[in-house]
Amino acid sequence: MKIQVLFGTESGNAEIAAEDLADSMRNDSQEVHVHDLSAFSISELQHDTMYVFLCSTYGEGELPNTALPFYADLSVVRPDLTGVRYAMFGLGDTFYTETYGQGATKLDDKLSELGAERVGEIGRYDASSWEPVGEAAVAWFAGVLDEVAAAR
């Protein structure tokens, strides 16, 4: 299975988590590529690839700057994403209760609206927990892979 790990970040934590997640998958001999969402075009979305989005929340529940161009393209072009499968992992801080993880939620809502199918629950990372973000992403994705295997 081809896997693309795509991250949207403001301070770099989603990138760290994306690299740690990709490294863990490469150890399992998976074909994995990592891209910043600012350098990934919606035209590159394919049906034969599993996409793993790691997206932080910025400001008052907004997407981080590196995810904005991708989200804007989804909103304007509105591609038919039927058949595209993805998983979503959100980064935030529960100290900000009203906006916790909203960046990932907004991206998830848009992908779903356009017909993409999310595999598993949205993963959530709480920066207040002091758990290493990469470890949290790897543990969450193990459950996603179990769901992918069960669906086969």
Summarised one tens digit per residue, pLDDT across range 15-45 is 999 999 998 887 666 789 999 999 999 999 9
Q: Count the neighbouring beta carbons within 10 Å of the beta carbon of residue 11.
A: 12
| Higher pLDDT, residue 127 or 54 | 54
pLDDT at 130: 81
pLDDT at 77: 96
Query: Bridge-partner residues for 31, per DSSP?
Result: 2
Domain annotation for the chain: domains and CATH numbers: 2-151 (3.40.50.360)
Interatomic CA distance for residues 46 and 92, integer angstroms = 28
Question: Smallest Cα–Cα separation from 126: which of 86, 99, 87, 107?
Answer: 99
Summarised one tens digit per residue, pLDDT across range 96-133 is 667 677 788 999 999 999 999 999 999 998 777 888 88
Token reading at 50: 């599993």
Tabulate helix, strand, coil % of the chain (nearest 5).
45, 25, 30
